[in-house]
Each structure stands twice: as structure tokens, then as C-alpha cells.
Amino acid sequence: MTSVLQYEHVTKSYGLFGRRVAALDDFSLEVERGEIFGFLGPNGAGKTTAIHLALGFMRASRGSGHMLGQPFGHAATRARVGFLAENVALYHRPANTLVKFYGALNGLRDHALARHVRVVLEAVEMTEYRDRNVGKFSRGMQQRIGLAQALVNDPELLILDEPTSALDPLGRIAVRELLLRARSAGKTIFLSSHLLSEVEMICDRVAVLVRGRLLRIGKTADLLERRGVAVIVARGISNTQFAGATAQEGLVTITVPRAAQRETIERIWSAGGDIVSVTPQRRTLEDLFVELAGTDQADNRGEDFYA
């Protein structure tokens, strides 16, 4: 695997002199080719700043980074990248003309441009609105056109900042499927989103950023596995024999530390019961997010915050 997006000890500070605030603090990250990478964090965590640095909208105060093998801000490289900004802002033109404009800015011409525009408008299900002015679209429709302009150059790397925030459930499903298809086609997707369930469903790896610092990074499945805890479901026993066990429709559920798993199973067998399942307990991404963001906020909160 090769990394398509790489941050190396990047710090980005705003403000002047003594009033400087670090939006990113010694931030390092690598996104590998062909993966969907979820980039999470509470508001003000520095996610958008990290994205803007990669695209060259701003310069790092310290550190450096590479996108598709070139330093951040390399204009020609952006022809191989698609970007959808949070709260996308578009010129008020007919959808077809607008997507064509953005495609042409990326160097597409003539038949190739016309074909790409047609394909992406189909992909975001906006073909029937192609001649209508984008200024008259709803937020959801504008977001679809935003996605179309990001896809028009058939990018190797797709950077999406809250791509589904204004979409209805059907729209979200359509975008999710589109992203999965893109991954199957070998594209890399860097996805910043607050919709954790969505990230959980499609992302191969996830990073959690809080106050400009990377708190956690790893494979989604690994991060969600709650290490050291297993859930045992058994039948043919009474729940009163096991501390904290619950019974429902003849099945007894026992949550035990992984160290006590074997012993508990043997006790169930000794009591004449049968094991139905043993599952390492998983948490949701929301649990992880709240745990990380909450811990950090508590660490940084003043003692008399509510005094």
C-alpha cells in the first residue's frame, strides 16, 4: 500500500503574537491508496483545517505534507483530486454548465468533458435537473451538484467534508453506495463526517481528532471492539446463578471480562446449560467518539466551569 495523503508533524496556528491558537498540533496521518478513511472530531477539532492544508488553501505553520506524491498546494496535482467543501457554495448557473465549468478548470475538454458531466450528473441522480439554475436548488440538491463537481475529473483521491449533511436518508444511501463503488474502482476517499453511523458502515479506517490532536487511529473494526469484554448467551440455566445476568425468552445473557470467559462457560456447562453464543462486545463509533471527545473536554475544562 502507498499513502496518497500524508501529514508529517503539521501544526497550524491562527492569530497573532501572544493570542495564537493551534488548530492542528503536531498532526501526523497517512491515508493509504484504495481505502475509505473516516476523519472524525467534534466541531472546532481541526478537521477542516487539515483538509484545507492538503488542498493548499492555507500553509502549515510547522511541518509538511504530501498529496499524491506532491507537496501540499501543488496545483497540477489537484487535477487528480476531487473536493467537496462543507456547506458547499456554488455559482448560480444551470447545473450542467456549472459542472462543465469545474471540469474545464481541471483540464477536461470537448467530448471527454461532456461525457464526464453526463456520467456524474447521472451518478448523483440530477440528470433531470441539468438545465435548472443551481441557485434555485434546495440544500440537498446543491450538495449533490457539489458532489458532481468533485467527481467530474474522475479523481484518484476524493476529499469530502460533510458530504451528506444536507441529504435525506435516500440521498445518503445513494452517496454511500457511490462511495463504495468508487472504492471498488480503486479510488481513495478521505471522509470527514459527523454522521458516525455512516462512517462506521463504510470506512476501512478511522481517525479521531480532538482540539487539533490525533487521539485515536486504526481499523474501524479494531477501534470498535471493546477489548476484554465478551457477551455469553446461554440456555437451560437460571440467571440468578450468575451476577449481572439477564434473562429473556429462555435465554440468559451474561457480560463477563474476557479473563473470566472460560470459567463462566465451564460453570454454565456444569449447571447443565448450553452455550448459544460467545461474542466479543463491540461498541458503536458514537460510544468511542463520546468517550474520546468527552475525556478530552473534561481534561481541559476548568474546575469551576459550572460554579
Site string for other proteins, 126-155 (x = CB under 8 A): -----------------------x---x--
Shortest distance, position 290 Cβ to other proteins, whole Å = 28
Transcribe 233-269 into DSSP letters.
EEESS-GGGSTT-EEETTEEEEEEEGGGHHHHHHHHH
Which parts of 214-243 interact with other proteins (CB under 8 A)?
none
Shortest distance, position 293 Cβ to other proteins, whole Å = 23
Name, in order, each residue with C-beta under 8 angstroms of 79's C-beta and a sequence gap of 6 or more: 106, 107, 153
Provide, rounded to whole angstroms, the least separation between the CB of residue 13 and other proteins.
11
Contacting range for other proteins; rule: CB under 8 A; set: 55-63, 122-130, 174-182, 293-301? 55-63
Find the shortest distance in angstroms from Cβ 10 to other proteins: 14
Q: Which of 3, 32, 56, 231 binds other proteins (CB under 8 A)?
A: 56
What nine digits make up the cell of 207? 481517525
3-class DSSP state of 227: strand
Indicate the SS3 state at residue 168: coil
Q: Which is nearer to other proteins, 53 or 293 (CB)?
A: 53
The order of strands in the sheet holding 36-40 is 81-84, 157-161, 188-192, 36-40, 205-210, 213-219
Q: Which residues of 191-225 are buried (b: 16+ CB within 10 A; e: fewer)?
A: bbbbbbebbbebbebbbbbbbbbbbebeebeebbe
For 79, phi and psi rounded to 5 degrees?
A: -70, -20
CB of 161 to other proteins, least distance (A): 10
Query: Looking only at residues 65 through 104 of this chain, which bind other proteins when binding is defined by CB under 8 A?
Result: 75-79, 81, 83, 85, 87-91, 93, 101-102, 104
Binding mask 7-26 for other proteins (x = CB under 8 A): -------x------------
Count of chain residues binding other proteins (CB under 8 A): 30
Q: What residues numbered 104-123 form the site for other proteins, per CB under 8 A?
A: 104-107
| Nearest CA-CA partner of 167 in 147, 186, 184, 189 | 147
Question: Which three cell numbers mark 223?
Answer: 477501534
Q: Which is nearer to other proteins, 52 or 176 (CB)?
A: 52
Distance CA 262, CA 242 (A): 14
CB of 181 to other proteins, least distance (A): 22
Task: Output the nine-digit C-alpha cell for 304.
Answer: 469551576
Residues in touch with other proteins (CB under 8 A): 14, 48, 52, 55-59, 75-79, 81, 83, 85, 87-91, 93, 101-102, 104-107, 149, 153
